[in-house]
Every structure is written in structure tokens, then in C-alpha cells.
Structure 1
Amino acid sequence: MTDANENPKLQDDPGSNTVKDPADWVSGDDPMTGAQASYLKTLSEEAGQPDMFSADLSKAEASKRIDALKGDAGL
């Protein structure tokens, strides 16, 4: 049996195991999901930055733009 120090799933804070930069995503070049498109569209309109939305973004780029808009809005 392994203890929490050996198994990142059992650690309170597994660190980098749970957070990846969108640039490192295996599927980052895939088209953004419908949920991302909807959320990005709403955030960009509410932030008064409609140019932040583009229908042809990848998953990774959409995630980065969502994070940027959320940061600007203090979310």
C-alpha cells in the first residue's frame, strides 16, 4: 500500500499534477468547445471587448482569453 506522499491523487495539494498551461494541453489545438464559445462570447460582451471572441479559436486560445477576461473582471 502506498501513502499520500507517493500517490499524488491522495495528496492535499498535488501541485502541478492538476494544473496545466493551455499551451501544454494534448487537445489544445482542437476547436474550442461549445461551452467555451458560449462563455467567451458572454464574457467578451459583458467586458465591452467583443473582439476577444472569434469563432475559430482553439481550445487553448479560448481558455487563455477566458482567463484574461475573468482577470479583468476580477472573477
Structure 2
Amino acid sequence: MTDPTPDKPTEDWVTGDEPMTGPQRSYLHTLAQEAGEEVPDDLTKAQASERIDALQQKTGRGA
């Protein structure tokens, strides 16, 4: 079975260079706290998504 919503690479996102969203910021800071890491507040949407993915793997929250 194929994934009905394949992930688009962040470098192809039309809005990827916009500032991260409020929900991204909140979740990213929650994950970073659990992982004992610091994250900057000036990430783009694409950068935040990549950091979230990495931190999900580190904290075991990833799907």
C-alpha cells in the first residue's frame, strides 16, 4: 500500500523559508526540553520541521 500523503522534501516547500508556526515552536520546544537540547527561536518552517523529525527520533516520539 502506498502512502497517500508522501512527504515533500523541505527544500521543495513553497513556504519553507517563512518563520516557523506557533504550533511548530511549541512542539519543538517541548521535544528539545525532553531531549535536553536548546533550539533557536528564529528557525524557518522547513528548519523547524527537520529539527522536529530529528528530536522525535531522539526522544522516541516519532511514528
Partner residue, 1:72: 58
Cα displacement (A) at 1:57:
0.5
Say if 2:34 and 2:59, in contact at 8 Å, map to a contact too.
no
Residue 49 of structure 1 pairs with residue 37 of structure 2: yes
Say if 2:15 and 2:45, in contact at 8 Å, map to a contact too.
yes
How far apart, in 2, do the equivalents of 1:32 and 1:13 lie?
29
Partner residue, 1:34: 22
Q: Of the two, which has the highest radius of gyration?
A: 1
For normalisation by structure 1, the TM-score amounts to 0.72
Residue 19 of structure 1 pairs with residue 4 of structure 2: no
Q: SS where residue 43 of structure 2 aligns?
A: coil
Cα displacement (A) at 1:14:
5.3
For normalisation by structure 2, the TM-score amounts to 0.84
> Alignment RMSD, CA only?
1.6
Question: Between the two proteins, what is the percent identity of the paired residues?
Answer: 51
